[in-house]
Structure 1
Amino acid sequence: MSIKQERARAEKLARQAVPSSPAAWRAWFDGSAHPNPGRIGIGVLLAGPAGERVEISRRAGHGSSGDAEYLALIAALEKAVELGVGELLVYGDSQVVVQDVLVSQAAGAKALELHRARVAQLMAGLAQVDVRWVPRHRNGDADRLSQQAIHEGGV
């Protein structure tokens, strides 16, 4: 399968509705780089089935917007592993990162391969994880947290 076909397949998968159990956790991630490349801020919101809410807002060094988005996804997955989450549905508004995670290792973006490898390692530590793209307007909490990290120093 060509890289173009892999990416088209990834886009189709990202648009599909994912059934999830009532026990599933949900996570939203976003990363910002100001300027791009520049200072990185990451934002993550994890929501548990019993009303749990975990927010992450912190600076994450310097890099591109792709680095920022991936570092936010990594932070979400690390926290899910730490919490012992079994089933996780992850949402992000970066088509680049979501598609990169969904395609095979050989077809992914070269510049992001180290981040992709870390994501794959973390995903293997969870019983079930699905990563899906959402429009920016449906990712407001994560965006707010990533912007807060850059402008206020994060927590």
Structure 2
Amino acid sequence: MTRRNQPLKIFYDGGCRPNPGRIEVAVVACGQTRFFDNLGEGSSSDAEWLALCLALEVAQSLAEPIFDLVGDSRSVVEQASGAAPCRSLSARHHRARYEAAAAAWPPRRLRWIPRQQNLAGIALTRRHNCAKRGDVTDT
């Protein structure tokens, strides 16, 4: 367990520009932001699923026994947790990949939060704003 007996929170967000377009992901864990680029192209849904899977990989690599995965895509959180069906072939494929990766070491729970509270979403937005201004970011 992490400090104060709270599970570690891993924030994730995925996006693409344009939609569909180049996928990018941010994962925030233990106060550090990790950006993932060169993930190919896809839709915003594909980007959110990839973000969930990468957040799971980051959490597992930290060897924290209990963790929550926190994202702002309600549909992905509900589909991945089994609360909603995956209606598209793509979503079923993504969920199968996630379930296989989570089988040995799953999160305590998947949690939805609003975009403005998602640290990973905030990091992606900040990164884009800095890129527009020509700033260099090393978060």
TM-score (norm: length of structure 2):
0.78
How far the C-alpha of 1:144 sits from its partner, in A, is 3.4
2:15–2:44 contact (8 Å) kept in structure 1: yes
- Which of the numbers 98, 121, 124 marks the counterpart of 1:143? 121
Give me the identity figure in percent: 31
With over 3 angstroms needed to count, the CA separation of the structure-2 counterparts of 1:71 and 1:38, relative to structure 1, is same
Aligned residues: 128
1:28 to 2, 8, 11: 11
CA shift for structure 1 position 129: 2.3
> Is 2:53 aligned against 1:74?
yes
Greater relative contact order (CA < 8 Å, ≥ 6 in sequence): 1
- 2:86 aligned with 1:108: yes
Partner of 2:26: 43
Gap change, CA 1:72 and 1:153, over 3 Å in 2: farther
Match of 1:96 among 62, 75, 95: 75
Q: What is the TM-score with the length of structure 1 in the denominator?
A: 0.71
Query: Structure 1: how far apart are the matches of 2:71 and 2:14?
Result: 9
- Residues 125, 154 of structure 1: alpha-carbon distance in 2 compared, 3 angstrom cutoff: farther
Secondary structure of residue in 2 paired with 1:90 = strand
Question: What SS class does the counterpart of residue 56 from structure 1 fall into?
Answer: strand
Corresponding residue for residue 113 of structure 2: 134
Query: Contact between 2:69 and 2:107, CA under 8 Å: does it hold in 1?
Result: no
Further displaced range: 22-31 or 125-134: 125-134
User: RMSD over aligned Cα, in angstroms?
Assistant: 2.7
Secondary structure class of the residue paired with 2:19 = coil
Cα displacement (A) at 1:104: 6.7
- Secondary structure of the residue that 2:108 maps to in structure 1? strand
Matched position secondary structure for 1:29? strand
SS at match of 1:43: strand
Q: Is the 8 A contact 2:116 2:122 kept in 1?
A: no
Unaligned regions of 5+ residues in structure 2, if any? none
Distance 1:28 1:79 in 2: 10
Structure 1 distance, partners of 2:42, 2:74, is: 18
